[in-house]
Amino acid sequence: MNISNNKPYFTGKELEYIADAIKRGSVSGDGYYTRLVTSFIQERFKAKAVFMTTSGTHALEMACMLADLKPGDEVIMPSYTFPSAANAVMMMGARPVFADISEDTLNIDPEDAAKKVTARTKAIMPVHYGGISCDMDKINEIANKNSLYVIEDAAQAVNSAYNGKYLGTVGHFGCYSFHGTKNITSGEGGALLINSDDPEIIRRAGIIRQKGTNREDFLKGDSKRYCWVGTGSSYSPSDILMALLYSQFLELDRIEKRREFIYNYYSMVLKRFADAGVIRTMLIPAWCKPNYHLFFLILRNESERDSVMHELNMRGIGAAIHFVPLHSSPMGIKLGYKPENLKITERAANCLLRLPMHPGLTQEELDTISANLSDILGEL
């Protein structure tokens, strides 16, 4: 048996929707399905303005442009994340400043983030790891006190909520990803949420996304000529991909239910090992409604983690590590960081193990994972 860690899940309706986009001749950006999926996100997540993008990375880049980051500016973010957030900041000539994480959720530690604020800090980028919400009241408090933008990297957190508010709508900007590894996918894709009523920033977002043109005003009839009005790039996804995404969104609840089942199953299997202190399992804080994006456990040390992973992999079970911390990656070292600068991040990255998590897992596969995992953990 070979059980993969992650596998894109298809509901069976995708081809029908893709064929319809093609039949409509709607293949470039901002067509029929882009409008449908934009309103879906707006209504379902109560987002003020939504811009579909070609990736989560591009949504982060747009947020950095809209926050007007300049050379010399600093942006605080966790080191335990994917490189996209740091790249988006660096492409503006600004500097990522890495904060440590909380041991229980592996999300940015608000106290450490607060300590890293300087006169140059312009924004803070909380990452909702595994779809579990950061402590957003504390993050927003730091931001308000220091006049910072809050850019939520909600790439993994579509349909998760913080105290009843959907993630991506809690800060100034929210960035979603619909990459093939995420809960809902268009293969590659993303969205930028702007939580503001300011028509100027929303207009600027439209220009940045449409190659520096006034295409949005022009299509609305607010402008006579379609022309170059500012700087920007090409961030609007093909309508074919948005048709695929829309078909997946219609099944959002069903997809999430299956993930929830898998999450609860693993929790049940692992409870006795967690109680015995052999492992730690994920914590879902009371403020969070999760989307069950990942299931991870934390072993007592790196060598136990490596041996459990190796054993599971040998038995055909796709257990995996996750992020290599940014601060101790080759690029982080170039920026002047040392691994020991962020101790909790290093330890978590070295001891974390992700179990297979995707809606396609069968009960037979889950039972196989459970039996092997119990067997291996029982030996520790």
Q: Which residues bind ligand PLP (CB under 6 A)?
A: 55-57, 81-82, 84, 127, 153, 155-156, 177, 179, 190
Closest-by-Cβ residue to ligand PLP is 56
Distance CA(173)–CA(154), nearest Å, equals 10
Q: Bridge-partner residues for 297, per DSSP? A: 281, 353
Closest Cα partner for 287 from 130, 161, 146? 161
Site of tokens 């599971």: 312
Could you tell me the smallest distance in angstroms from the CB atom of residue 82 to ligand PLP? 4
Contact 231, 242 (CB under 8 A): no
The minimum distance between CB 379 and ligand PLP, in angstroms, equals: 32
In this complex, which beta carbon is closest to ligand PLP, that of residue 153 or of residue 239? 153
The residue (of 5 and 84) whose beta carbon lies closer to ligand PLP is 84
CA 206 to chain centre: 22
Min CB(271)–ligand PLP separation in Å: 28
Which residues sit opposite 96 in a β-bridge? 75
Query: With respect to ligand PLP, which residue has the nearer C-beta, 249 or 273?
Result: 249
DSSP tag of 131: G
CB of 132 to ligand PLP, least distance (A): 12
Asked if residue 130 lies in contact with residue 156, where contact means CB atoms within 8 angstroms, the answer is yes
Return d(Cα 148, Cα 141) in angstroms, integer: 10
Closest CA to 175 of 291, 253, 82, 58: 58
Angle, CA 340 vertex, CA 122 and CA 70 arms, to 5°: 20
Residue 170: name the closest of 190, 147, 149, 199 by CA: 149
Please name the helix (run of DSSP H) or strand (run of DSSP E) that holds residue 262, with its range, or none.
helix 252-275
- Residue 162 or 273: the one with the smaller Cβ distance to ligand PLP is 162
For residue 206, the minimal CB distance to ligand PLP (Å) is 20
Work out how close the CB of 316 gets to ligand PLP at its nearest, in angstroms, rounded to a whole number: 26
The token duo for 119 is 């006169």
Q: Are 87 and 208 within 8 A, CB to CB?
A: no
- Beta strands 161-162 and 288-289 are antiparallel
Calpha distance 204→64 (Å, rounded): 12
* Residue 29 beta carbon to ligand PLP: minimum distance, rounded to whole angstroms: 16
CB of 363 to ligand PLP, least distance (A): 28
The minimum distance between CB 353 and ligand PLP, in angstroms, equals 17
Nearer to ligand PLP, 5 or 55 (CB): 55
Nearer of residues 217 and 256 to ligand PLP, judged by Cβ: 256
Which residue lies nearer to ligand PLP by CB, 63 or 142?
63
Which is nearer to ligand PLP, 208 or 377 (by Cβ)?
208
Tokens of 300: 């007592």
* Residue number, 45 or 129, with CB nearest to ligand PLP: 129
Cα separation, 343 vs 128, whole angstroms: 20
Distance CA 130, CA 209 (A): 28
